[in-house]
């Protein structure tokens, strides 16, 4: 990718991001943009192109969608992330399934807002390109967290190496973040801004939604290359020689036990818009490390 952080900031994580989609029968395939009175505000968002007007599913439609989803369960996604952490390959995205129980029935079962924003609040300024119902099919959006700010980027599948910066806010504009486990593959995250408004996004993997929420809340520490020991930097150099040439720059996270996780992602060959994530765990000397309880 050709986007790079500014000289006064360092990249902590980059992940796919788009507005989430409802999964419970009444809201399946739907998303709404709400004010705090639960009124639809998508027509009031400045410079947004028209989008679909969703309605709650009828009882018969819910039954049909349940049948359709039943046929999907157990079929793996085309491009599961390659997780080479600890030397073992896996499929973190798993099957196309729901995970967990509704945490907020009013926002996940009876309604499905992906924006909750009073007039004049920050959530109303996020880019419309995050909405898959409004953008071209070949359009992709990423979320980047740096040491200084949160940024949304756009790319086209035909030119994935040309990223455009759409929107950004300083870290102190964010009040909190939470992985929303009642979602497809556990990949949703809710980001709450300091003014109380929030957005709900799908990140493409449970690892991304969890890691982003941990970094935004400060429960784990993002590192930069300068924070690594000599042994760790040497290990990272060897790691980079083994990943695809088109892989993005690695990111570093100090987990709860103190070991460091190194990750970088590369465009997947199986499908446009998907990525393979390659990673290792290392101790202070750069030697392979085993995750402790609570790390992953």
Q: Cα(116)–Cα(114) distance, rounded to whole angstroms?
A: 7
Give residue 207's pLDDT.
85
Q: Are strands 32-34 and 113-116 parallel, antiparallel or unpaired?
A: parallel
Give residue 198's pLDDT.
98
Radius of gyration of the chain (CA): 19
What is the three-class DSSP state of 62?
Answer: helix
What does each of the 296 residues of the chain score in pLDDT, given as a tens digit? 578 899 999 999 999 999 999 999 999 999 999 999 999 999 999 999 999 999 998 665 555 444 444 333 333 333 333 333 333 333 333 334 455 689 999 999 999 999 999 999 999 999 999 999 999 989 999 999 999 999 999 998 777 678 999 999 999 999 999 999 999 889 999 999 999 999 999 998 888 899 999 999 988 889 999 999 999 999 999 999 999 988 888 999 999 899 999 998 887 777 666 678 899 999 999 999 999 888 87
Q: How many CB atoms are located within 10 Å of the residue 55 CB?
A: 11
Domains of the chain: 11-222+270-281 (2.30.29.30)
Those residues whose C-beta lies under 8 Å from the C-beta of residue 102, and which sit 6 or more positions away, are 24, 108, 109, 182
The conformation of residue 14, written as its DSSP 8-state character, comes to E
Residue 87 — φ and ψ, nearest 5°? Answer: 85, 0
Residue 61 — φ and ψ, nearest 5°? Answer: -65, -35
Buried b (16+ CB within 10 A) or exposed e, 230-248: eebeebbeebeeebeeebb
């Amino acid at each position: 990718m050709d986007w790079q952080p500014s000289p006064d900031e360092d990249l902590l994580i980059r992940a796919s991001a788009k507005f989430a989609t409802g999964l419970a029968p009444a809201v399946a395939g739907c998303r709404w943009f709400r004010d705090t009175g639960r009124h639809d505000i998508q027509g009031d968002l400045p410079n947004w192109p028209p989008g679909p007007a969703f309605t709650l599913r009828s009882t018969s439609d819910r039954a049909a969608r349940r049948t359709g989803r039943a046929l999907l369960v157990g079929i793996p996604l085309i491009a599961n992330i390659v997780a080479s952490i600890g030397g073992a390959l896996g499929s973190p995205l798993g099957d196309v399934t729901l995970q967990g129980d509704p945490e907020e029935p009013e926002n996940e079962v009876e309604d499905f807002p992906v924006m909750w924003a009073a007039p004049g609040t920050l959530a109303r300024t996020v880019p419309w390109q995050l909405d898959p119902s409004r953008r071209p099919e070949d359009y992709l959006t990423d979320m980047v967290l740096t040491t200084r700010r949160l940024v949304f980027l756009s790319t086209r599948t035909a030119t994935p190496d040309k990223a455009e910066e759409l929107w950004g806010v300083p870290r102190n504009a964010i009040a909190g973040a939470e992985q929303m486990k009642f979602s497809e593959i556990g990949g949703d995250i809710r980001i709450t801004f300091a003014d109380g408004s929030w957005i709900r996004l799908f990140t493409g993997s449970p690892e991304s939604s969890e890691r982003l929420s941990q970094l935004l809340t400060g429960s784990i520490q993002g590192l930069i290359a300068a924070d690594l020991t000599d042994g760790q930097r040497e290990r990272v150099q060897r790691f980079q020689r083994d990943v695809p040439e088109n892989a993005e720059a690695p990111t570093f996270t100090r987990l709860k036990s103190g070991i460091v996780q190194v990750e970088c992602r590369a465009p997947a060959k199986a499908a446009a818009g998907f990525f393979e994530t390659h990673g290792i765990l290392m101790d202070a000397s750069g030697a392979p490390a085993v995750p402790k309880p609570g790390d992953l």
